[in-house]
Amino acid sequence: MAVCISALDPQAAEVAASALAQGQLVGLPTETVYGLAADAANPQAIAKIFAAKGRPVDHPLIVHVAPCTSRSAWAQVLAQMCSHVPEAAWRLIDAFWPGPLTLILPRLPGVCDAAAGGQPTIGVRCPAHPVAQHILLAAAAKGVFGVAAPSANRFGRVSPTTAAHVLSEFEGVRLSGAPIQMVVVDGGACSVGIESAIVDVSQAKPALLRPGVLTQAQLEQAVGQSLAQPGPQSPQVSGSLASHYAPAARVMVLTEQELLQGCARAAIPEGDAVYASQVVLNACVSPLDKQRLMPASAVACAHELFAQLRALDATGAPSIWIQAPPAVGELATQWDGVRDRLLRASV
């Protein structure tokens, strides 16, 4: 069974770290989303993540590490997993760690094989959430140098941004015939709300494999060069499948004009839910409990996106009609992370 403990409990980090060291699962709060965490170097513990999520074992996990105060300290931590750290990676680490950025690095053979999904690379990040950092530091003191932590939800479903989301996701889940055993640390609602950006620095030219709240312009400025787009030789990474982040309801992503036209033609049924601008909400016929106002800010929308998808899904609406983020103009790139999640949720 899942046991929830408040991050305000003085023993929370120690309880979670002990569970990780014993090969157990932990619901870990980060600034992006809650992760389903296990010791990255323990293949039996990693197998529990894949089984609990229903995730393909060749779909790699991201390893979370405790914060460091210098390049030399980072180098010692990364040397436990990575064959080398390119200069591009150091520039990104200096700029954005701790924070919502995952780096794909060359992996040491034989290290974290299960977490890496068998790939010669490993995804690593240092979360900025203070509760996650306390847990990771306590785990490191017990010999757990890295914690694999994909989003704490069933595979392909909406990512969790509160402890309650995590508990509901795994209610009734059984592993090896017994109720799932896990500790969930309640660190409050996630501040960022969508998963980290992922940059591959394992090859000659860095590539942006998954957008997040960090914009491509911010990443390129830090690394000092343009970022390539994913190609046939790019590593597989979390959240890269066409269909992902999906609620039970069908998700329809349309422009504001298309939604207004749908409202005018009564093409949006009354029982469906809508997440859009006030202009659209004023025109649609869906009941108030199935309406949500989309923020005008990309950062604010990212913060609430998954929680809103869960809330609208819980209304029982067959479909959720969502206003597409700006696709052109100066602000469009700020919405890349939100746009990516919505497009994958609508496949």
Secondary structure (DSSP) of 16-49: HHHHHHTT-EEEE--SSS-EEEEETT-HHHHHHH
Look at residue 123 and tell me if it is in a domain.
Answer: yes
Report yes or no on 232 lying in a domain: no
Residue 245 included in any domain: no
Give phi and psi for 317, each to the nearest 5: -60, 135
Q: Are strands 35-39 and 2-6 parallel, antiparallel or unpaired?
A: unpaired
Return contacts of 292-301, CB within 8 angstroms, 24+ apart.
Answer: 294/322, 294/323, 298/213, 298/325, 298/331, 298/334, 298/335, 298/337, 298/338, 299/213, 299/334, 301/325, 301/335, 301/338
Helical axes 216-223 vs 87-96, angle rounded to 10°: 120
- Domain assignment present for 234: no
Query: In this structure, are 98 and 213 located in the same domain?
Result: yes
Residues 137 and 187 in one domain: yes
In a shared domain, residues 41 and 179: yes
Can you read off the two tokens belonging to residue 157? 């479903």
- Judge if 185 and 44 occupy the same domain: yes
Whether residue 247 contacts residue 345, with contact meaning beta carbons closer than 8 Å, is answered with yes
Domain boundary among 207, 223, 239: 223
pLDDT of residue 122: 97
182 and 46 in a single domain? The answer is yes
Q: How many CB atoms are located within 10 Å of the residue 90 CB?
A: 17
> Has residue 228 been placed in a domain?
no
- Asked if 19 and 183 touch (Cβ cutoff 8 Å), the reply is yes
Burial of 242 (0-12, 13-18, 19+ CB in 10 A): exposed
C-beta separation of 36 from 217 below 8 A: no
Q: Are residues 212 and 283 in the same domain?
A: no
Distance CA 128, CA 99 (A): 5
Number of domains present in the structure of the chain: 2
**β-pairing, 319-323 with 207-210?**
unpaired
Name the residue range of residue 332's domain.
Answer: 250-345
Residue 127 corresponds to which amino acid?
P
The answer to whether residue 238 is domain-embedded is: no
Per-residue model confidence (pLDDT) at position 234: 85
Residues 6 or more apart in contact with residue 314 via CB below 8 angstroms? none
Alpha-carbon 202 to chain mean position: 21
Instruction: Please check whether residue 113 is in contact with residue 43, taking contact to mean a CB–CB distance below 8 angstroms.
Output: yes
Q: Check: CB of residue 14 under 8 Å from CB of residue 8.
A: no
Pairing of strands 101-106, 197-200: parallel
In a domain, 317, yes or no: yes
Which of 186, 208, 223 is the last residue in one of the domains? 223
Tokens 């393909």, residue located: 56
Q: Tell me whether residue 20 is in a domain.
A: yes
CB 97 within 8 A of CB 125: yes
Q: Are both 254 and 219 inside the same structural domain? A: no
Together in a domain, 197 and 280: no
| DSSP-derived secondary structure letter, 78 | H
Residues 216 and 254 in one domain: no
261 and 120 inside one domain: no
**Which stretches of the chain drop beneath a pLDDT of 70?**
242
DSSP assignment letter at 156 = T
In a shared domain, residues 175 and 70? yes
299 & 188 share domain: no
The CATH number for 166's domain is 3.90.870.10
